[in-house]
Amino acid sequence: MTAPTEPEPTTEAANALRPRLARSWSVTYPLIIGSLSTAALLLADTIILGWYGTEALATIGLVAPLFVFASALVLPWGTAVQILVARWHGAGEHDRVRGIIDVGLLFCLAVAAVFTAALFALSGTLVQLVGGGQAPDEATTVLRVLLTALPLTAVTAHYRGVFGGLEQTKITMRVALLVNVTNIPLDYVFVFGLDLGATGSAVGTVTATATGVAYIVWFARRRLNGDYPFWQRANLTGGRAVCARIWRIGWPDVAFAVLVYGADVALAAIVARVGETPLAGYRLMVSTVMLLWVVVFSHSSGIAILAGQRLGARDPAGALGYARSGALLMGALSVLIVLPALVAPGIYFRLFTPDQQVIAHAQAAAPVLLLVVPAMVVAMSLAGVLRAAGDTKGILYAGALSQLLLAVPVAWVAVQYLGWGLAGVYTGFAVGLLARALFTWLRFRRGQWRQEWEEDTSGKSST
d(CA 310, CA 29): 20
Query: Minimal CA–CA distance to 259: which of 72, 96, 129?
Result: 72
d(CA 234, CA 166): 21
Degrees to nearest 5, angle at CA 169 with 74 and 164: 50
Residues 415-424: contacts with CB under 8 Å, at least 24 apart: 415/270, 415/271, 415/274, 416/270, 421/274, 421/278, 421/361, 421/364, 422/271, 422/274, 422/278, 422/281, 422/282, 422/285, 422/361, 422/362, 422/364, 422/365, 423/364, 423/365, 423/367, 423/368
Residues 341-346: contacts with CB under 8 Å, at least 24 apart: 341/288, 341/366, 341/369, 342/366, 342/367, 342/369, 342/370
Which ranges constitute the DSSP H helices of 138-196? 139-147, 150-165, 170-188
Residue 158's SS3 state is: helix
Q: What was the pLDDT predicted at 460?
A: 43
As to burial, measured by CB atoms within 10 angstroms (0-12 exposed, 13-18 middle, 19+ buried), residue 376 is buried
Under 8 Å CB-to-CB from 297, ≥6 apart: which residues?
A: 35, 380
Degrees to nearest 5, angle at CA 426 with 420 and 429: 135
Q: Is the Cβ–Cβ distance between 334 and 292 less than 8 Å? A: yes
d(CA 140, CA 151): 19
Phi and psi at 220, nearest 5°, equal -65, -45
DSSP state of 189: I
For the chain, the structural domain boundaries read: 26-457
**pLDDT tens for each residue of the chain, 463 residues long:** 444 444 444 433 445 688 889 889 988 888 787 666 666 666 666 777 777 777 777 777 777 778 877 888 888 888 889 888 888 887 778 778 877 888 888 899 999 999 999 988 888 787 777 666 666 667 788 888 889 989 998 998 899 888 888 878 788 778 877 877 787 788 778 878 777 777 887 888 888 889 888 998 888 888 877 676 666 666 667 678 888 888 888 888 788 777 776 676 677 777 777 777 777 777 778 778 878 888 898 899 899 889 888 888 888 888 899 999 999 999 999 999 899 989 988 888 888 778 888 888 888 888 989 999 999 999 999 999 998 888 888 888 888 778 778 888 898 898 888 888 888 888 988 998 999 999 999 989 887 777 666 666 555 443 3
Cβ count within 10 A of residue 231: 11
d(CA 370, CA 354): 25
d(CA 340, CA 435): 26
Degrees to nearest 5, angle at CA 176 with 130 and 60: 20
CB environment 323-361: b (16+ within 10 A), e (fewer): bebbbbbbbebbbebbeebeeebeebbbebbebeebbbb
DSSP string, 393-426: HHHHHHHHHHIIIIIHHHHHHHHHTS--HHHHHH
Q: Tell me the pLDDT tens digit for each residue of 141-151.
A: 888 888 998 99
pTM of the model: 0.69
d(CA 283, CA 58): 8
Q: Tell me the pLDDT tens digit for each residue of 101-152.
A: 888 888 999 999 999 999 888 887 877 776 666 666 677 888 888 899 899 9
